[in-house]
Amino acid sequence: MKYTSQQVAKPYFVFALILFVGQILFGLAMGAQYISGDFLFPYIPFNVARMVHTNLLIVWLLFGFMGAAYYLVPEESNTELHSPLLARISFWVFAAAGVATILGYLLVPYSRLAEITYNDLLPTMGREFLEQPTITKIGIVIVCLAFVYNIGMTILKGRKTVINMVLITGLIGLAVFFLFSFYNPSNLVLDKYFWWWVVHLWVEGVWELILGAILAFVLIKVTGVDREVIEKWLYVVIALALISGLIGMGHHYYWIGPGKYWLWMGSIFSALEPVPFFMMVMFAFKVVKQRRHEHKNQVATLWALGTAVMAFLGAGIWGFIHTLAPVNYYTHGSQLTAAHGHLAFFGAYAMIVMTIISYAMPILRGRPQGNPRTAQRLEKFAFWTMCISMIGITLALTAAGAGQIALQRLPEAGKALSFMNTQEKLIPFYWVREVFGLVFFVGLIAYLSSFFVGKTDKLANA
Partner 1 sequence: MAEQFTKSMARNIYYGGGFFFFLLLIGLTVDTMLDLPKRDHRENITIAVAQGKKHWEDNNCIGCHSLLGEGAYFAPELGNVFQRRGGGDEETFKQFLISWMGVQPLPIPGRRKMPQFHLSKQEINELAEFLIWTSRINNNDWPPNIEG
Q: Answer yes or no whether residue 45 interacts with ligand HEC by CB under 6 A.
A: yes
Which of 39-47, 118-126, 193-201, 338-346 is the region at the interface with ligand HEC (rule: CB under 6 A)? 39-47
**One residue of 4, 36, 47, 78 binding ligand HEC per CB under 6 A:** 47
Q: Answer yes or no whether residue 119 interacts with ligand HEM by CB under 6 A.
A: no
Comparison of 221 and 312: residue with beta carbon closer to ligand HEM: 312
What count of other Cβ atoms lies within 10 Å of the Cβ of residue 36? Answer: 11
| 401-420 binders of ligand HEC (CB under 6 A) | 420
**One residue of 341, 370, 401, 454 binding ligand HEM per CB under 6 A:** 341
Long-range contacts of 59-62 (CB under 8 A, 24+ apart): 59/19, 59/94, 59/98, 60/15, 60/16, 60/17, 60/19, 60/20, 60/23, 60/353, 61/16, 61/349, 61/350, 61/353, 62/94
Q: Answer yes or no whether residue 131 interacts with ligand HEM by CB under 6 A.
A: no
Q: How far is the CB of 419 from partner 1 (least distance, A)?
A: 4
Q: Kindly report the backbone phi and psi dihedral angles of residue 131, in degrees, each rounded to the nearest multiple of 5, phi listed first.
A: -75, -15
Which of 63-71, 141-149, 321-329, 409-417 is the region at the interface with ligand HEM (rule: CB under 6 A)? 321-329
**One residue of 12, 15, 63, 110 binding partner 1 per CB under 8 A:** 110
* Helix%, strand%, coil% for the chain, nearest 5: 80, 0, 20
Fill in the DSSP letter of residue 7.
Answer: G
**One residue of 29, 69, 125, 220 binding partner 1 per CB under 8 A:** 125
Which of 86-94, 141-149, 250-258, 353-361 is the region at the interface with partner 1 (rule: CB under 8 A)? 250-258
Q: What angle do CA 8, 13, 15 make, to 5 degrees?
A: 105
Q: What is the DSSP string of 58-91?
A: HHHHHHHHHHHHHHHHHHHHTS--S-HHHHHHHH
Q: How far is CA 84 from the centre of its chain?
A: 25
Residue 102 contacts residue 110 (beta carbons within 8 Å): no
Residues in the chain, how many? 462
What count of other Cβ atoms lies within 10 Å of the Cβ of residue 93? Answer: 15
Which of 40-48, 124-132, 204-212, 400-408 is the region at the interface with ligand HEC (rule: CB under 6 A)? 40-48
Q: Answer yes or no whether residue 111 interacts with ligand HEC by CB under 6 A.
A: no
Q: Answer yes or no whether residue 315 interacts with ligand HEM by CB under 6 A.
A: yes
Residue 402 Cα distances to 56, 322, 331, angstroms: 29, 11, 8
Q: Answer yes or no whether residue 329 interacts with partner 1 by CB under 8 A.
A: yes
Q: Answer yes or no whether residue 320 interacts with ligand HEM by CB under 6 A.
A: yes
Burial class of residue 149 (count of CB atoms within 10 Å of its CB; 0-12, 13-18, 19+): middle
CA distance 403 to 416: 12
Q: How far is the CB of 41 from ligand HEM (least distance, A)?
A: 14
360 binds, among ligand HEC, ligand HEM, partner 1, none (CB under 5 to 8 A by kind): none
Q: How far is the CB of 36 from ligand HEC (least distance, A)?
A: 12
Which of 70-78, 145-153, 296-304, 403-411 is the region at the interface with partner 1 (rule: CB under 8 A)? 403-411
**One residue of 19, 30, 62, 155 binding ligand HEM per CB under 6 A:** 30
Element (H, E) at 414: none
Q: How far is the CB of 318 from partner 1 (least distance, A)?
A: 15
Q: Answer yes or no whether residue 238 interacts with ligand HEM by CB under 6 A.
A: no
Binding site for ligand HEC (CB under 6 A): 45-47, 420
Binding site for ligand HEM (CB under 6 A): 24, 27-28, 30-31, 34, 50, 53-54, 57, 128, 203-204, 251-252, 270, 273-274, 311, 315-316, 319-320, 322-323, 328, 332-333, 337-338, 340-342, 344-346, 348, 350, 437, 440
